[in-house]
Amino acid sequence: MVASKAILLDSNIIIYSLQSQHEKLQKWLGKHSQIVSAITQLEVLGYYRITNDEKVLQTVIFRFVK
């Protein structure tokens, strides 16, 4: 079995990647496999400044991330 490398994302990285001024981060993340823990998902979706649109977007994205 060949182990693939994936990036374990922190909640802050995910929250920053939602912001339009972090386009370079968005592109960089798009080039790498990602892993998100259940705790990180809760932290992101529970972030007090997340908009409803961002919450919907993250919920969809979390379905595709390990």
18-44 pLDDT, tens digit per residue, is 888 999 999 999 898 999 999 999 999
The string of DSSP codes covering 9-38 is --HHHHHHHTSGGGHHHHHHHHTS-EE--H
Model pLDDT, residue 22: 94
Within a domain: 1: no
3 state SS of 46: coil
Within a domain: 44: yes
Q: Which of 2, 4, 3, 63 is nearest to 33 (CA)?
A: 4
Within a domain: 29: yes
Report percent pLDDT > 90 for the chain: 52
Within a domain: 60: yes
Give the domain range for residue 45: 7-64
Within a domain: 34: yes
Within a domain: 26: yes
Within a domain: 2: no
How many structural domains comprise the chain? 1
